[in-house]
């Protein structure tokens, strides 16, 4: 078995002699594809206070490597991997732990997992859709917290797959998303995915555009993904009085520090919440994949061989808005 672990100094430690657990309750899975995220890149570059070395990557798909009749699984069955560690929930009120942060992730060729973490592909679901199940689960958790009504405006801030899916989900629930970033590529993808209102912060007057779109009352909800590609101040300045704001991330351990004017929270009487986990919405995310209402077509720029992971992470350090997938 081969596994890559981030040392936190922009380099991987490679081990090719690891052995899988012999625990008979665990199911052996051959990893097929992994999709690196910004949190994985942060681990690679040593930006987070997490014990290292650790294998990153929590977005992954695979195939069952041996028959497991007791679970109804046959060798070669394609599966989505749920990255939340089901049997290690933390103290009450805290998030579940996750592979790739709390334990070695999926930048490896084989892994042994509990049945709770393995979901056979639903009929008709494609690889490029299955890979993003966890991101979709976080997006679904975010949208569930908004309790959207038809015609409400949702400003979505930041350039990422997560913000794109949140905007698509808002449309699915008949709200009106407004995607804002300073990344032209991200905005173009949003348009291709059916988002009517996109604003390029680098070339447009954001506040004036949102006023025009909403008839001067601003957004009922604002959502900020803690990534580069937008000014965090818009989270509060674009919200209407009495509105709600959300800060979203893929992990509660890996938040990026942001600076914004919190005086607007009291001035506008805003409700602010954070969302960083999709564990409770993972089954819902799988159901959403089967409905075929969301567009995943434009998220993957290229497929990179497992042996080129080091070079890929170096490239991502130069341009974090690439959308690659690693083929194991």
Q: With helix as H, strand as E and coil as C, how does 255-294 read?
A: CCCCCCCCHHHHHCCCEEEEECCCHHHHHHHHHHHHHCCC
**Domain assignment of residue 151, given as a range:** 138-275
Structure tokens given for 123: 């009929």
* Domain of residue 239, CATH code: 3.40.50.720
281 belongs to a structural domain: no
Q: How many domains does the chain have?
A: 2
pLDDT of the residue at 252: 63
Q: What is the pLDDT of residue 320?
A: 81
Residue 93, pLDDT score: 57
**pLDDT at position 229, please?**
65
| Position 303 in a domain | yes
Which neighbouring-strand residues pair with 99?
A: 103
The answer on 145 and 104 residing in a single domain is: no
Residue 211: what pLDDT?
Answer: 97
Is residue 319 included in any domain, yes or no? yes
Q: Are residues 113 and 176 in the same domain?
A: no
The per-residue pLDDT for 251 is 74
Residues 26 and 100 both lie in one domain: yes
What separation in angstroms does the CA of 62 have from each of 25, 78, 135? 18, 6, 17
Q: What is the model's pLDDT at position 14?
A: 94
- pLDDT value at residue 45: 92
pLDDT at position 253, please?
62
Query: Who's near 169: CB < 8 A, 6+ residues apart?
Result: 139, 140, 143, 288, 294
**Nearest residue to 230 (alpha-carbon basis) of 255, 192, 260, 252:** 260
Same domain, 150 and 258: yes
Q: Is there a single domain that holds both residue 240 and residue 121? A: no
Q: What is the mean pLDDT of each run of 10 residues along the chain (328 residues)?
A: 94 91 94 94 88 94 96 96 77 74 95 96 95 97 95 95 97 97 94 97 96 97 84 93 94 68 92 92 96 95 96 92 91
- Say how far apart CA 232 and CA 215 lie, in whole Å: 23
pTM, two decimal places = 0.94
């Amino acid at each position: 078995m081969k596994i890559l672990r981030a040392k936190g100094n922009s380099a991987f430690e490679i081990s090719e002699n690891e052995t899988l657990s012999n625990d008979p309750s665990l199911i052996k899975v051959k990893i097929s594809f992994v999709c690196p995220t910004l949190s994985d890149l942060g681990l690679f570059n040593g930006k987070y206070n997490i014990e290292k070395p650790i294998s990153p990557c929590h977005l992954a798909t695979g195939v069952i490597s041996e028959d497991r009749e007791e679970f109804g699984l046959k060798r070669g069955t394609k599966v989505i991997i749920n990255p939340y560690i089901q049997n290690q929930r933390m103290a009450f009120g805290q998030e579940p732990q996750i592979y790739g942060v709390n334990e070695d992730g999926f930048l490896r060729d084989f892994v042994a997992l509990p049945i709770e973490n393995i979901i056979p592909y639903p009929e008709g679901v494609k690889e490029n859709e299955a890979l993003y199940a966890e991101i979709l689960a976080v997006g679904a958790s975010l949208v569930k917290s908004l309790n959207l009504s038809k015609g409400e405006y949702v400003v979505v801030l930041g350039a990422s797959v997560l913000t794109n899916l949140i905007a698509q989900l808002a449309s699915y629930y008949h709200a009106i998303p407004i995607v804002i970033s300073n990344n032209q590529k991200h905005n173009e993808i949003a348009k291709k995915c059916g988002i009517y209102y996109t604003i390029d912060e680098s070339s447009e007057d954001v506040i004036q555009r949102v006023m025009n779109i909403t008839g001067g009352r601003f957004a009922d909800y604002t959502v900020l993904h803690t990534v580069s590609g937008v000014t965090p101040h818009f989270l509060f300045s674009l919200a209407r009085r009495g509105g709600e704001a959300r800060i979203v991330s893929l992990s509660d351990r890996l938040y990026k520090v942001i600076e914004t004017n919190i005086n607007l929270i009291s001035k506008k009487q805003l409700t602010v919440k954070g969302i960083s986990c999709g564990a409770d919405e993972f089954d819902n995310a799988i159901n959403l994949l089967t409905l075929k209402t969301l567009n995943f077509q434009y998220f993957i720029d290229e497929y990179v061989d497992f042996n080129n992971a080091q070079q890929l992470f170096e490239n991502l350090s130069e341009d974090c808005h690439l959308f690659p997938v690693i083929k194991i």
